[in-house]
């Protein structure tokens, strides 16, 4: 897609977001609410389903276009975390789902009749050590029986479907630790109260995160996504897309902070001169601009490689790390530029400051990205 087409997407998303000003998001943050109207309009406009092929009712576009959507949502002051999973979880279904699964779910998702907003991977005792997860799915005739626990599973209360990762073969019985894991596409509506218990988690940001408890949850064998024992490969597709799209969101956050800081520094007068005339205020903002622009180029490269079907694990991870660090520094500089007013909710900065902080930790911490680069790119010894 040409730059002109991407600019057209940006403008359309910007116009949609203008109907949901920052006060809308502030009120949701105060009340721990979910942006139902915003998600509905984003879906109906086709922006949330851009990755679904046209044959299933989507736009059939790539991660490059999806990244532009997420970036603009964040730059507008909105919180893309309320809906971004529907994009990156989609890759697991598109690449590994059966024809029946695709025909059953994708048209309904594209039409806004179903939501696929949850990715059930993280557990309280294993964290990002995914291959050591303890949730088990045991085959029982034409069903699987699931037992275990998940944590920090976002938007599950606002989702109809979830991709779940569970162990189907004990780790000690496999040749490689990445084997024996299986992915399942679960209907949350049928599972709740029948073996699935959801418990919301109060946290510093309005991310709608929950703990999940599985107690003999029976799911049809047809829920299996991809081949049994190869679930790690299934979720990797989703994880690379996730890192790229969240990196794009961080670029959007960074640009939001720079927009706010530069405007305020130009308008705010102290000692009879705009504070932005002082190099101590101006230079940090300018440096943040350079860092965000550089991170944006890494996001574009990773998205392009993903869309071309090239291996892009390193690029996706680097994009996420560089963009999250750039947005966090931009947020810090924006806070400093506004001084005490940055802490007032009416300026909206402190909410975005909290939201962008998450991406130093999730969906993968900076240290794990560095270890990935050290081992898999630079070929140094494994650090853990």
Across 251-268, average pLDDT? 98
Strands 209-220 and 196-200: antiparallel
* Two structure tokens written together for 12: 């359309």
pLDDT attached to residue 195: 98
Residue whose structure tokens are 């081949």: 227
Set out the domains of the chain in order of their start, with CATH numbers: 3-110 (1.10.540.10), 116-230 (2.40.110.10), 233-377 (1.20.140.10)
pLDDT attached to residue 236: 84
Q: Using alpha carbons, select from 223, 227, 228, 243 the residue that is nearest to residue 95.
A: 227
CB 72 within 8 A of CB 15: no
- 3-class DSSP state for residue 38? helix
Q: What is the pLDDT of residues 10-19, one digit of tens each?
A: 999 999 999 9
* Farthest-apart Cα atoms in the chain, separation: 79
Q: Residue 21: in which H helix or E strand, if any? A: none
Whether 237 has a pLDDT exceeding 80, the answer reads no
* Res. 1 pLDDT band, cuts 50 70 90: confident
Q: What is the pTM of this model?
A: 0.96
CB 127 within 8 A of CB 384: no
Across 218-228, average pLDDT? 97
Whether 321 has a pLDDT exceeding 90, the answer reads yes
Which of 82-96, 160-174, 188-202 is predicted least confidently?
Answer: 82-96
**DSSP state letter for 168:** S
What is the DSSP track for 271-311? TTEEGGGSHHHHHHHHHHHHHHHHHHHHHHHHHHHHHTT--
CA distances from 211 to 120, 124, 206 (A): 10, 9, 15
Whether 329 has a pLDDT exceeding 90, the answer reads yes
Whether 90 has a pLDDT exceeding 90, the answer reads no
- Continuous H helices in the chain: 3-17, 22-31, 36-44, 63-75, 85-88, 90-96, 99-110, 188-191, 231-267, 279-307, 313-338, 349-357, 366-372
Across 65-88, average pLDDT? 94
CA distances from 146 to 155, 181, 197 (A): 20, 13, 12
pLDDT attached to residue 128: 84
Exposure string over 283-322, b if 16+ CB within 10 A, otherwise e = ebbeebbebbeebbebbbbbbbbbbeeeebbbbbbbbbbb
Q: What is the pLDDT of residues 94-119, one digit of tens each?
A: 889 999 999 999 999 999 999 999 99
pLDDT attached to residue 88: 85
CA distances from 348 to 9, 19, 36, 283, 351 (A): 25, 17, 20, 23, 6
Q: Between these two residues, 161 and 128, which has the higher pLDDT value?
A: 161
* Two structure tokens written together for 24: 């809308």
Whether 73 has a pLDDT exceeding 80, the answer reads yes
pLDDT attached to residue 268: 98
Residue whose structure tokens are 């024992």: 229
Exposure string over 189-206, b if 16+ CB within 10 A, otherwise e = eebeeebbebeeeeeebb
Backbone angles phi, psi at 64, to 5 degrees: -60, -45
As a whole number of angstroms, the distance between CA 156 and CA 137 comes to: 19
* Res. 152 pLDDT band, cuts 50 70 90: very high
pLDDT attached to residue 349: 97
pLDDT attached to residue 86: 86
Whether 8 has a pLDDT exceeding 90, the answer reads yes
User: What do you get for the CA distance between the two ends of the chain, in Å?
Assistant: 41
Q: Using alpha carbons, select from 350, 356, 301, 300 the residue that is nearest to residue 326.
A: 356
* Res. 318 pLDDT band, cuts 50 70 90: very high
* Res. 312 pLDDT band, cuts 50 70 90: very high
Across 50-57, average pLDDT? 94
Sign of the Cα torsion 188, 191, 193, 197 reads negative
Q: What is the mean pLDDT of the chain?
A: 96
Residue whose structure tokens are 């947005």: 327
pLDDT attached to residue 384: 84
Across 289-318, average pLDDT? 97
CA distances from 266 to 119, 326, 343, 346, 359 (A): 43, 22, 20, 19, 29
What is the DSSP track for 54-110? GGGTS----HHHHHHHHHHHHHTT--GGGTTHHHHTHHHHHHH--HHHHHHHHHHHH
Strand partners, 182: 166
């Amino acid at each position: 897609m040409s730059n002109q087409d991407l600019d057209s997407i940006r403008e359309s998303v910007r116009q949609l977001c203008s109907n949901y000003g920052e006060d809308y998001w502030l009120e949701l943050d105060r009340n721990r609410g979910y942006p139902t109207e915003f998600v509905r309009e984003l879906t109906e406009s086709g922006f949330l389903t851009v990755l679904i092929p046209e044959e299933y009712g989507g736009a059939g576009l790539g991660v490059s276009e999806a990244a532009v959507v997420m970036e603009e949502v964040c730059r507008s002051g909105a919180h893309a975390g309320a809906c971004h999973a529907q994009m990156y979880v989609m890759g697991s279904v598109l690449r590994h789902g059966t024809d029946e699964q695709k025909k059953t779910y994708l048209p309904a998702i594209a039409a806004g009749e179903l939501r696929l907003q949850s990715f059930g991977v993280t557990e309280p005792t294993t964290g990002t050590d995914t291959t050591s997860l303890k949730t088990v799915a045991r085959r029982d005739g034409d069903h699987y029986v699931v037992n275990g626990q998940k944590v920090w599973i976002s938007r599950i209360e606002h989702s109809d479907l979830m991709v779940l990762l569970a162990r189907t073969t004990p780790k000690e019985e496999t040749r490689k630790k990445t084997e024996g894991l299986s992915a399942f596409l679960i209907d949350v509506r049928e599972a709740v109260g029948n073996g699935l218990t959801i418990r919301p988690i109060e946290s510093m940001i309005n991310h709608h995160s929950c703990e999940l408890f599985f107690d003999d949850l029976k799911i049809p064998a047809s829920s299996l996504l991809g081949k049994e024992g190869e679930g790690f490969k299934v979720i990797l597709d989703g994880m690379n897309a996730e890192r790229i799209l969240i990196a794009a969101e961080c670029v959007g956050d960074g640009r939001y902070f720079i927009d706010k800081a530069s405007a305020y520094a130009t308008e705010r007068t102290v000692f009879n001169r705009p504070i932005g005339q002082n190099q101590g205020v101006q230079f940090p903002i300018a440096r943040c601009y350079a860092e965000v622009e550089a991170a944006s180029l890494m996001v574009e490269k990773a998205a392009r490689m993903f869309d071309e079907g090239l291996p892009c694990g390193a690029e996706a991870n680097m994009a996420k790390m560089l963009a999250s660090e750039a947005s966090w520094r931009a947020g810090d500089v924006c806070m400093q530029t506004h001084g005490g007013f940055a802490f007032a909710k009416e300026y909206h900065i402190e909410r975005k400051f909290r939201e962008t902080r998450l991406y130093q930790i999730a969906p993968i911490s900076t240290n794990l990205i560095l270890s990935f680069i050290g081992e898999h790119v630079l070929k140094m010894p494994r650090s853990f």
